[in-house]
Amino acid sequence: MKKSVSPVSCFRLPEMVERSNTRYHRMFITRISMIFLLISILSVLSWFLILSSTNPNRVLDHISVSGPTDSPLIIIKNSEKSPQQNDAELPNPKNSGAKTEEVVQTLSCNQKVSPPSPRPLKVYMYDMSPEFHFGLLGWKPERNGVVWPDVRVNVPHHPGGLNLQHSVEYWLTLDLLFSELPEDSRTSRAAIRVKNYTEADVVFVPFFSSLSYNRFSKVTQKQKLSRDRELQDKLVKFVTAQKEWKISGGKDHVIMAHHPNSMSTARHKLYPAMFVVADFGRYSPRVANVDKDIVAPYKHLVPSYVNDTSGFDSRPVLLYFQGAIYRKAGGFVRQELYYLLKEEKDVHFSFGSVQNHGISKAGVGMRSSKFCLNIAGDTPSSNRLFDAIASHCIPVIISDDIELPYEDVLNYNEFCIFVRASDALKKGFLLGLVRSIGREEWNKMWGRLKEVERYFDLRFPAKDDDGDYGVQMIWKAVARKAPLVKMKVHRFQRFTRPFLI
């Protein structure tokens, strides 16, 4: 017997299905909304964290801890207000009831706040035979076992002349010897000699390579090799046999090779070391480069211009150059400029040499000139740049491949003019450029030049009131490479056992 279906049930069934679908749809929308809300909240939080981490007003300075210090620790709170706004909200001493925000908290209030002196570079220097250093100047030790002169009473004389321009090796070695004496009363030394290699940041190799090349690179009739070549061979044998070289692979060694032709054979065997050079014109990038090595100034040959009272109007020569004109390689620019400028009335461009008082004449000429040309010769650099600086003559540098001392901390654009060689050879370009520089701009560059000239002045001894002269600036340049040197040494030691050497 068939059951009868109520008409009411037929109408309720679709209604129940519709209600069920509506409920499911609402639940689905609710869940989607909650997920969307959660994602939105997470996104906002993420953006907030990113913006907070990149806030330029956030005070998060690099802190270098070099040793224990008694100086109070100063904490500077962050502020979203500008310095002017902060100044405007400083407490009024007449309004004792004003609420102030503490900006500086000190953990120690009983001491005077003063910036700590930077830690000097610690240098371990080999006690090498005098034949490598002062013996090249004719110095002889008074007794056996002595390898260094007593620089308090007997500083070996440097011969001067053209040899002097590459004498950085002489000044750095004297400074290290003096640093270990009680007479060195400087409170802000850039480098000190240490006797223990494990305390050192770098190892200094006291070979006067430029002097060796200048004096002993020629082969005499009785020699198969020049004395310079023999010394280079001895140097390689000595240095690579040392425990300190084996531990670091030589990467923490500092070797002087300032003359472009010095260390001509040894450089290819000792290249892991840091070289002190004049430029990189005669080096392959594998042997020497600006990332690994130090560019040091030449020793200027003209006298320093003490008590310079000259000015824009008292220097009648616009542009000055005196020296060798026909050079090899990149030096072709000199001869091309000579033909362009030799007839100009306010330009001095002539041949010159050290003979017949050439250096003193060049000094007088530079002091009478507003601008002095420094043009690439056989190599990208020359001593002429540093003679110009010592004479307070604005250098005009035409050397596309030149590398300059301390350029990571010193802006040469403030006191030098740089001209591309291709532009300098365009007729009228160079003179148009220097003539466009008026009195006000020239005075500004001239003033800055007098401020920085001491950075290139190599002297001994340095006193506390001397500030940063050439020797100190070179040591500081080495110190700035020290962290990279340490990393290289650690990487070298990955697959060695240096502590068992």
Residue 485 placed within a domain: no
Query: Do residue 232 and residue 344 come from a single domain?
Result: no
Cβ contacts of 487 within 8 Å, gap of 6 or more: none
Query: Do residue 279 and residue 321 come from a single domain?
Result: no
Residue 53 placed within a domain: no
Coil/strand/helix, residue 194: strand
Query: Do residue 327 and residue 190 come from a single domain?
Result: no
- Residue 333 tokens read as 């620019």
Tell me how far the alpha carbon of residue 237 is from its chain's centroid: 31
Query: Do residue 247 and residue 326 come from a single domain?
Result: no
Cβ contacts of 295 within 8 Å, gap of 6 or more: 277, 278, 279, 403, 404, 405, 407, 477
Tally Cβ neighbours within 10 Å of residue 64.
8
Query: Do residue 134 and residue 257 come from a single domain?
Result: yes
Rounded Cα distance, 342 and 237, in Å: 52
Torsion of CA 29, 34, 39, 41, to 10 degrees: 140
Residue 395 placed within a domain: yes
Tens digit of pLDDT at every position of the chain (501 positions): 444 545 444 445 445 545 556 666 677 777 777 887 778 787 777 666 655 554 444 333 333 333 433 333 333 333 344 434 444 333 444 444 444 444 334 334 344 444 455 789 999 999 999 999 999 999 999 888 899 999 999 999 998 888 999 999 999 999 999 999 988 877 778 999 999 999 999 999 999 999 999 999 999 888 899 999 999 999 999 999 999 999 999 999 999 999 999 999 999 999 999 999 999 999 999 999 999 999 999 999 999 999 999 999 999 999 999 988 876 665 689 989 999 998 898 999 988 776 677 788 999 999 999 999 999 988 999 999 999 999 999 999 999 999 999 999 999 999 999 999 999 999 999 999 999 999 999 999 999 999 999 999 999 987 766 678 999 999 999 999 999 999 999 999 998 876 656
Query: Do residue 281 and residue 327 come from a single domain?
Result: no
Cβ contacts of 342 within 8 Å, gap of 6 or more: 349, 350
Query: Do residue 280 and residue 339 come from a single domain?
Result: no
Tell me how far the alpha carbon of residue 172 is from its chain's centroid: 17
Identify the residue whose tokens are 């005669």: 282
Residue 340 placed within a domain: yes
Task: Using DSSP bridges, classify how beta strands 274-277 and 253-256 pair: parallel, antiparallel or unpaired.
Answer: parallel
Residue 302 placed within a domain: no
Query: Do residue 274 and residue 176 come from a single domain?
Result: yes
Output the domain CATH number for residue 367.
Answer: 3.40.50.2000
Residue 54 placed within a domain: no
What is the amino acid identity at position 246?
A: K
**Nearest in space to 371 (alpha carbons), one of 336, 334, 330, 419:** 419
What is the amino acid identity at position 170?
A: Y
Rounded Cα distance, 70 and 66, in Å: 13
Q: 274: exposed, middle or buried (C-beta count within 10 Å: 0-12, 13-18, 19+)?
A: buried
Query: Do residue 141 and residue 247 come from a single domain?
Result: yes
> For residue 278, what pLDDT is reported?
97
Domains identified in the chain, total number: 2
Q: 212: exposed, middle or buried (C-beta count within 10 Å: 0-12, 13-18, 19+)?
A: buried
> For residue 384, what pLDDT is reported?
94
> For residue 112, what pLDDT is reported?
42
Across 195-315, where does the E strand assignment appear?
202-205, 253-256, 274-277, 294-295
Rounded Cα distance, 297 and 277, in Å: 9
The CA-based diameter of the chain, rounded to the nearest angstrom, is 142
> For residue 412, what pLDDT is reported?
98
Query: Do residue 288 and residue 378 come from a single domain?
Result: no
Which domain, by its residues, includes 402?
Answer: 317-455
Residue 329 placed within a domain: yes
Residue 335 placed within a domain: yes
Rounded Cα distance, 261 and 467, in Å: 32
Query: Do residue 356 and residue 236 come from a single domain?
Result: no
**In this structure, what are the phi and psi dihedrals at residue 296, rounded to the nearest 5 degrees?**
-115, 150
Helices (H), ranges, 426-469: 429-435, 439-452
> For residue 51, what pLDDT is reported?
57
Query: Do residue 221 and residue 251 come from a single domain?
Result: yes
